[in-house]
Amino acid sequence: MLAGLLVFAQESTETETFHAHSPLWPETLEIIWGGTAFLVVAFMLWKLALPAIKSAMQARSDRVQRELDNAAKAKADADAQAADIRARLGDIDAERARMLADADQTAARVLSEGRTRLEAEVVDLQAKTDADLAMAGSRLAGEVEGQVGQMAAGAAEKLVVDQLDDATVQRLIEDFIANIGSGKG
């Protein structure tokens, strides 16, 4: 229908010359058709586009409000975490001080135990050294006694050999044999 009107309007303008009634106002038919088209477009916008625009604006408002709520919740969570971290930092300082005190006590105890153990080991080593010295002294005394005995025996043998003549040796041998035979020897 609109196409037919356009064709009619075009044919009528080709054959007729157009004169405007007023330089400010358009022709009456243009006002009627333009006004009608405007009202149709305005009605269609009001009926179809306005609810869509309202729902889009409401959805946007809801989304912005949801984002604001989420941001406020995230800020509150971050503040709570920051407070928790600050509290833990204080706990860490106290824990560090406690651990250092424990380490100092442990070090003092280990040092004391080490000194006590070393002193006991020194006493044990001194006792072992004294025992080793006494044993070495008695062994040396025995060796010296044995060597002195051997030297004395050697010296006595040499003296006896030098002072004994054949007749005295013969008499000692016979006395020895006689003592063995009689059971005295």
pLDDT in single tens digits along all 185 residues of the chain: 655 555 555 555 555 565 657 778 778 888 899 999 999 999 999 999 899 999 999 999 999 999 999 999 999 999 999 888 888 877 777 788 888 899 999 998 998 998 999 888 888 888 888 888 888 888 887 887 787 778 777 777 777 667 777 777 788 788 888 888 776 55
Would 12 be classed as within a structural domain?
no
pTM for the complete prediction? 0.33
Would 112 be classed as within a structural domain?
yes
**Domain range for 37:** 30-175
Would 141 be classed as within a structural domain?
yes
pLDDT at residue 19 in the model: 61
Would 10 be classed as within a structural domain?
no
Q: How many structural domains are present in the chain?
A: 1
First-last CA distance in the chain:
173
Would 152 be classed as within a structural domain?
yes
Would 145 be classed as within a structural domain?
yes
Would 8 be classed as within a structural domain?
no
CA distance 104 to 98: 10
pLDDT at residue 16 in the model: 56
pLDDT at residue 37 in the model: 96
CA distance 34 to 87: 74
pLDDT at residue 148 in the model: 76
Would 78 be classed as within a structural domain?
yes
